[in-house]
Structure 1
């Protein structure tokens, strides 16, 4: 029985490594786009910094244990690939995004991880040190697995799965299953418990995908409509700018929420430059007809 358990543990650990390896490689298409455009655009570095911190934390925990070599192998690869992603991001990011990323790296990697190592080394010893680090890993992993709640909320709100990559959701769910059984067979609940949450959220994501997979995103249709209205307003460049045209456009915009309008207005601001230079055209504009609210 002991031999069978050992073989099962090894099998789940290897499968966990394989699936997690593919999950770590998932952002490559994103960074290929960054490379092609020579810009990070709206992408954030936070997921990769958090990924690096998590990998480092699990390696530290594994080094305090004696039988979790497969936890070290995958997280070592995770440290390397996340570092590459972060370096790539910093190279192509604008100055403001680069500075924010560096602050996060210093705060989480150097200060956060550094304090965990120093405090556990000096204030704890032996088995107690491993227990403390295990609890830190457990709590942090639970926080990371809660992150998809934002995606689930967006899917339910928009009734669209446009921003929920199903292949990644499936891979994360399978990974959670593999690591759950690996931790369970080892008797290490610091590994097993967080993956219960990961598996649960993964199943919910797949159910939502099946429910909304054929729905068209409503928000996109609204944005297209807003864009057309703003373009229509922007085309009125003649000195004889008609007040009635402005009123018609404002009444149309009144049908949309401010959350839909603002991003498109910002994107099309150049089309409205002439309004700022021709203020006399707007002196009769009924501002009270625009409702700003959720």
Structure 2
């Protein structure tokens, strides 16, 4: 029974994550239409890309035992493609200063991921050690990913406007965090459950702020 629930939650988590990763499509449709990134920040997308890279690696048989974390691999693999696309679009329409910042962030993310993959595959010799090592770094990346919307939260409180904090991004962030927290708890995997313990309240905070300021211009 527990295994069945675990599989169902994993499938639901994949669905919610897909909607979360696809939610910025509306934002970047606006960016392309206006030819400007306006006040949108690329930090959440760069951090999300690093998170997807690390957890794709975490779920592969190199780190996990066989394919026990297949749902983690599939959705984060798709996340890599989507986040990369968003970042490329952002760079295309960003100001020179913004482009430089994003490129530096991308380079840093690739260095962190490459180093993590190299060390875990060569210096560590069993799945437990690899999961602890990769999971610990992934945990930090996930906490950073779920904390990055606080930049938008600060802007909402300051401007009393939710224009640059899209509702669907906040909603699916909360939903995804809730489902993956449940998935991690059912599997007794701290590295999957722990970051979502932070993601849930942050997502809820965004929704509360949206309800408060959505009528204001």
User: Smaller-chain TM-score range?
Assistant: 0.7 to 0.9
Establish whether residue 143 from structure 1 lines up as the match of residue 144 from structure 2. yes
- Per-residue deviation, 1:43: 4.2
Counterpart CA distance in 1 for 2:182 and 2:190 is: 10
Report the TM-score when normalising by structure 1: 0.64
Bigger radius of gyration among the two? 1
In structure 2, distance between residues paired with 1:206 and 1:35? 26
Q: 1:54 aligns with which of 51, 61, 67?
A: 51
Partner of 1:119: 119
Deviation at 1:65, TM superposition (A): 1.0
Distance 1:105 1:70, change over 3 A: same
Q: 1:169 to 1:95 in 2, by over 3 A?
A: closer
- Over aligned residues, Cα RMSD in angstroms? 2.3
Aligned 8 A contact 2:39 2:164 in 1: no
5+ residue gaps, structure 1: 218-294
Q: Quote the residue 1:19 is aligned against.
A: 16
Counterpart check, 1:8 vs 2:34: no
Cα drift, residue 169 of structure 1: 1.7
Q: Which whole-Å CA distance do the structure 1 matches of 2:152 and 2:46 have between them?
A: 20
Residue 183 of structure 1 deviates from its aligned partner by: 0.8
**CA 1:211–1:89 in structure 2 vs 1: closer, same or farther (change >3 Å)?**
closer
In 1: Cα distance, 2:132 partner to 2:53 partner = 17
Distance 1:44 1:156 in 2: 16
Deviation at 1:62, TM superposition (A): 0.8
Counterpart check, 1:130 vs 2:127 = no
Q: Supply the distance in 1 between the matched residues of 2:208 and 2:88 (Cα, whole angstroms).
A: 36
Give me the whole-angstrom Cα distance separating, in 2, the residues matched to 1:175 and 1:165.
16
What's the CA shift string for 1:80-125, capped at 9, x where partnerless? 111222233334445444343323222221x221111222333322
Rate the CA distance shift 1:178–1:91 in 2: closer, same or farther, 3 A: same
Relative to structure 1, is the Cα distance of residues 81 and 205 closer, same or farther in structure 2, using a 3 angstrom cutoff? closer
Moved more, 165-174 or 186-195: 165-174
Task: String of CA shifts for 1:144-168, please: whole Å, max 9, x gaps.
Answer: 2222333444444455444433332
RCO comparison, higher one (Cα < 8 Å, 6+):
2
Change (3 A) 1:169 1:41: closer
The aligned runs of 1:209-288 (5 Å cut-off) are 209-214=210-215, 216-217=216-217
**TM-score, with normalisation over the residues of structure 2?**
0.85
Q: 1:174–1:133: structure 2 CA closer, same or farther, 3 Å change rule? A: same
**Is residue 35 from structure 1 mapped to residue 32 from structure 2 by the alignment?**
yes
Kindly indicate whether the alpha-carbon contact (under 8 Å) linking 2:48 and 2:145 is maintained by their aligned counterparts in 1: no
- The 3-state SS of whatever aligns with 1:82 is helix
Alignment of 1:100-111 (within 5 A): 100-109=101-110, 111=111
Residue 131 of structure 1 deviates from its aligned partner by: 0.8
Secondary structure of 2:165's counterpart equals coil
C-alpha separation between the residues in 1 aligned to 2:138 and 2:188?
Answer: 16
